[in-house]
Amino acid sequence: MLNVAVLVSGGGTNLQAILDSEAKGGNPHGKVTLVISSKEGVYALERAKNAGVKSEVISRKSFANQQDFDEKLLNTFKENKIDVVVLAGFLSILGESVIKAYPNRILNIHPSLIPSFCGAGYYGLKVHEAALKKGVKVTGATVHFVNEICDGGAIIAQKAVEVLDGDTPESLQKRVMEQAEWELLPAALVDICKQLDC
C-alpha cells in the first residue's frame, strides 16, 4: 500500500474526488495519508479534516528561497513516508530537488488539453478565460507527470469537453471539472499506485 500526499491551494474538489474514490474502495494500492496546502484557511483543509487525513500548511512565502521551501517539502514527505505526490490545484512551483526525488511519482491535473493553454501563468480560471478568448470548441483536462518544465511532463490521460455557446470561464471550469478532472485524476492515481505497488 503506497502513501499518497495531495498538494492543494484552494477549494480541493479534485482532492475530494480522490478521497471519494478511495472511500468506495477504488484504490486498493494507495491511500491519501497527507494533504499539504500552500495557503491557510482554504476549504481543501476542511475536506482533509472531514476525511480524517493529516494536513499541513507549507507556504512558499514563509521561506527565504525556493531551496528552503523544497527542503521543507522533501523532509515532510520523508517523515510521512510518502511514495506518490498529487498536485491537485497546487499553485506553488516544485523545485528540481523535489522533482528529482520522485521521478514519475508526481502527478498534476491541468484544466486544458495540453499543449493548449498551459505553462507559466495558466492556472485555474485563467486557463478557461484563454480558451474562451481563442474561441476553441473543445477543451478538456490533462493528467501528466511533473518534470522540470511547467506542464511539460509526459501525458498520462486526457479527456475532451465541449465548449458551449454562452459559456463563461466559470461555467466552463465547472463542466471541465465535472466531466473530466474528477474522473481522470482519481483513475490515473489508481493506475500509478497499482503499477508502483507490484
- Which positions are catalytic? 110
Cell of residue 112, nine digits: 486544458
Pairing of strands 106-110, 138-145: antiparallel
Distance of CA 37 to the CA centre of its chain: 11
Amino acid at 138: V
Beta carbon of residue 126, minimum distance to ligand GAR (angstroms, whole number): 8
Stretch that binds ligand GAR, among 45-53, 62-70, 74-82, 108-116 (CB under 6 A): 108-116
Q: Using CB under 6 A, which residues numbered 8 to 37 contact ligand GAR? A: 8, 10-14
Q: Using CB under 6 A, which residues numbered 59 to 88 contact ligand GAR? A: 88
Comparison of 79 and 138: residue with beta carbon closer to ligand GAR: 138
Q: Which residues pair with 3 in a beta bridge?
A: 31
**Range 20-25 contact pairs with CB under 8 angstroms and sequence separation of 24 or more:** 20/186, 21/186, 21/187, 21/189, 21/190, 22/186, 23/51
Beta carbon of residue 72, minimum distance to ligand GAR (angstroms, whole number): 21
Comparison of 32 and 127: residue with beta carbon closer to ligand GAR: 127
Q: Does 110 bind ligand GAR (CB under 6 A)?
A: yes
Q: Does 109 bind ligand GAR (CB under 6 A)?
A: yes
Residue 111: cis peptide before it, omega within 30 degrees of 0: no
- The residues that touch ligand GAR, with contacts defined as CB under 6 A, are 8, 10-14, 44, 88-89, 109-111, 123-124, 127, 177, 181
